[in-house]
Amino acid sequence: MSWGTLAGEKKVDTEIEAHPRPHPRGMRFEGLNALVTGAGRGFGALIARAIADEGANVVVAYNTSKDGAEKLSSEIRDHGGKSITTKVDITKWTEVKSMTDKVWKDFGPIDLLVNNSGDVSSKQMSWRQITEEAIDQTLAVDIKGTLFMIHEVGSRMLERKQGTIVNVASNVIVTGSPRAPQYAASKYGVIGLTKSYALAFSPWVRVNAACPGYMDTEATTRRPDWTPERRKWVVDHTALKRIGKPEHIVPVVLFLASDDSIHMTGNIVICDGGFSMPGA
């Protein structure tokens, strides 16, 4: 077994040249097919819309937010793009498999996958409230769901020798989460999946992760523990002295999704305003 080659894997004998895809300015995804999970609302919807604005055809994947997904997909089509919706519970491998098969058949091969769906244990305000059910749910969505999506979509990308995957993790991989330890554990798992599949799918499919910190979203602001005092403490301990807005993070996801990051794989980009300030 040679260096960099695993048993049963085909060895790449020649050096692979990277050639950024030519595209009109501001249209980094023109002609590409993208799939975004959790895109029926919130951060996922912003990502899907931004990718469509730069020329991609978009599969808007959702589990519970059907109305939001259909509205977004309709808006993309109204602006001249190609878009469909698809319902999938990513915690069920059979659903992920059948969804992927159907998308490949009805929409076409996927060039870009953004795994945005996640469970942040939003109803848990303290580690003291942890339950086995909450642990199982968070790990099922964040780890199993992300793994199933990467595995099914990514393996098909690998067969075509092209594709990009962006996973949405969190800065809790640096800070931890005393509120919900299972959430921190699940996002560590997403980083493990990012690195593992970046190696497994190399050199043809790039896999990276964006790691936001606190975001000014309804999911954050409606939590009982998100008091004015808590917000002030977070701002005071953030180098940029503000809470990030989703639109501040979307460009980071698009950077990782595009050829602008063509020499990056297995990378983690923390975008939390300097709250965690990781070392080199």
Q: Is residue 280 part of a domain?
A: no
Q: Is residue 123 part of a domain?
A: yes
Q: pLDDT band at 72, cuts 50/70/90?
A: very high
Look up residue 262 and give its amino acid.
I
pLDDT at 226 over 70: yes
Average the pLDDT over each of 170-174, 196-200, 257-261 and give the range with the smallest value.
170-174
Number of domains, the chain: 1
Q: Is residue 108 part of a domain?
A: yes
Radius of gyration of the CA atoms of the chain, in A = 19
pLDDT at 55 over 80: yes
Total Cβ atoms within 10 A of residue 243: 20
Q: Is residue 8 part of a domain?
A: no
- CATH number of the domain within which 123 lies: 3.40.50.720
Segment 101-122, tens digit of pLDDT: 999 999 999 999 999 988 777 7
Q: Is residue 236 part of a domain?
A: yes
CA dihedral 84, 102, 147, 54 (to 10 degrees): -30
Segment 244-278, tens digit of pLDDT: 999 999 999 999 999 999 999 999 999 999 999 87
- What pLDDT does 225 receive? 83
Q: Is residue 3 part of a domain?
A: no
Output the average pLDDT for the chain: 91
* Residues assigned a catalytic role: 183
Expressed as residue numbers, the domain containing 129 is 33-271
CB 79 within 8 Å of CB 52: yes
Angle 93-106/146-160 helices, nearest 10 degrees?
A: 40
**Percent of the chain residues past pLDDT 90, beyond the cut:** 77
Q: Is residue 10 part of a domain?
A: no
